Structure 1
């Protein structure tokens, strides 16, 4: 299945209220709004009359109204009103609507034109009570670069030194890399609590941790204690918006405990804000440096410690599940 034939998140559900919302997906500017029945609708962000941005208009009775001359469009792209004229029945849409839906706290769109048979990719299922909150960001890099960065533990000793790990306090751990039906996963065992500030503040004893990538663009980090209870789950949907930029929708989930959710959210938002700024800086440096060398036939060099990056590259390029035997790798993380 091609990337365009899948669901992509384009906004947080709570962002889509009574006003239209502008967004972009794969170089296509879109306007989102809620139809009369409350469901999300997605149209190209242009009025076909004089190309005014519909996102600068208003939502009237579940339809989008152009800010320039007041032309009004239904969720299916049909024009329903042209002020100053008697509009004849308009059976043919003037704008190509995109399939849209709402799930997992996100608004989803498919740019393929047909409604995908596969449901929007969901975060890992949890059966315990969780405190959750969202962080959004935008970064200049590719989907592959962002996914590998998010799931690569070996950069944390340097880019996030002190916050996640220290280079001088590595642990000998075992990693199992295995294919998933729609992605790839690494399971890490025999790792104690990480030496950085975040783990020492918010994590008890470490049992097992996991990093996984699922098509078309969900990257997850999951930490569990020795009894199997969740300590932390970060689910990051990575969405190419165009012009070499990527939109991030990150859902942070922690086990509900004695610490009030509002206080936990305040502290974690600040800490993860630091981590995201550090990642954004190195990713944009890498992306800019790649452009400096794009005239040369050079490719990234994969090492033994690159557990998920090569598989993520194959998944994104092929758009289909991988078939390989589970492998075990001993590393110092």
Structure 2
């Protein structure tokens, strides 16, 4: 059921990449977003739709229903729900009822959902979020559920210090040797870090052509409409002519979706250069890169699950140099994502 007190409810006015398109078949799915319980379903013609989950008749979950043609049938009494929320009742054909409907789009292999404004016309919906992509190839997407609030989850992914202790592949050997630069814009924050790459298994070394003494640079920008961070990760090696950037690099696009007050979903898209010729990139290189990234993300998820206190409040006096961006992110999150409509 929906959590009416969810503090993220106003965030529903933004587009959220809630589910990979391939996961929505003919069976309805229950999903939670910003405390709102939804039912997602696909009509016989292939249209994806999202409605409030609870049937207004006798409170049955519409996720227990079945799709018949272009309508969703409630499993309890057979009420029929169209993608636009209109309802038809077998025993009350003259009664005009309406279920809350949400806007749905499909792009980049994802189902995007948002709640339209009360007076908003369909053509007034904002565009889907965008990010750089043309110079790299898609290597897949992953979903992870984090047992922590949105703010706490975003904190973890927008500071660097934990990579030394938590991560096994992508991170810094020594935080004290890392160069930090912070750039602030009214609607975004940007962090750039560079330092010695930590050692990792030689299997990864051979595949991605990164050596133990390379420098790792992580340049990321966070926006808040919805919360989204784009990581640009590169490596450099030092030779006789100075520093040279290695060919392999990553672009990691992470959306932070508050499912409830205490649970956050990470929808992550990965992009890499072509490291193997022809179709071998899609058959071998991309799956390996995706597996490595998913492994690293699971380490973050595991660490956040071990927090002893999920209170999202920050104490400024305990924050170190890598944590300065967290307070700036909180301000923008409150102003842009959670601001009034």
Question: TM > 0.5 between the two?
Answer: yes
Counterpart selection for 2:335 from 306, 318, 331 = 318
**Distance of aligned partners of 1:129 and 1:181 in 2 relative to their CA distance in 1, 3 Å threshold:** same
1:238 alignment partner in structure 2: 256
Equivalence for 1:212: 221
> TM-score, structure 2 length as denominator?
0.78
Distance in 1 separating the partners of 2:170 and 2:247: 21
| Whole-Å separation in 2 of the counterparts to 1:157 and 1:193 | 9
CA distance in 2, matches of 1:134, 1:35: 24
Q: For 1:252-291, list aligned pairs within 5 A.
A: 252-258=270-276, 259-286=280-307, 288-290=308-310
Alignment pair present for 1:175 and 2:185: no
Deviates more, 1:141-150 or 1:299-308: 299-308
Secondary structure at the aligned position of 1:248 is classed as strand
Pairing partner for 1:151 from 158, 171, 174: 158
Following the alignment from structure 1 to structure 2, what is the Cα–Cα distance between the partners of residues 203 and 245? Answer: 37
**Matches of 1:187 and 1:165, distance apart in 2:** 13
2: CA distance between counterparts of 1:316 and 1:274?
28
Distance in 2, Cα, partners of 1:138 & 1:78: 32
Unaligned 5+ residue runs, structure 1? 321-333
Match of 2:288, SS? helix
Instruction: Write the distance in 2 (CA, Å) between the matches of 1:10 and 1:18.
Output: 17
Residue in 2 aligned with 1:23?
31
Structure 1 counterpart of 2:113: 109
Shift of 1:70: 1.6
Equivalent in the alignment of 1:38 = 46
Contact residue 248 and residue 275 of structure 2 kept, 8 A: no
Q: Equivalents in 2 of 1:211, 1:98: separation in Å? A: 31
- What secondary structure is seen at the aligned counterpart in 2 of 1:319? helix
CA RMSD of aligned residues (A): 3.1
Runs of 4+ in structure 1 off by over 6 angstroms are: 227-230
CA distance in 2, matches of 1:251, 1:206: 24
Shift of 1:34: 2.7
> 1:57, 1:66 within 8 Å by CA — same for their partners in 2?
yes
Give 1:97's aligned residue: 101
Please identify, of 107-116 and 129-138, the stretch whose mean Cα deviation from structure 2 is larger: 107-116
Offset, 1:282: 2.0
Q: Distance in 1 between the 2:283 and 2:325 partners? A: 34
Q: Does 1:142 align with 2:149?
A: yes
**Aligned-partner SS, 1:118:** coil
Instruction: Give, in whole Å, the separation in 2 of the partners of 1:316 and 1:223.
Output: 24
Distance (whole Å) between structure 2 residues aligned to residue 131 and residue 104 of structure 1? 10
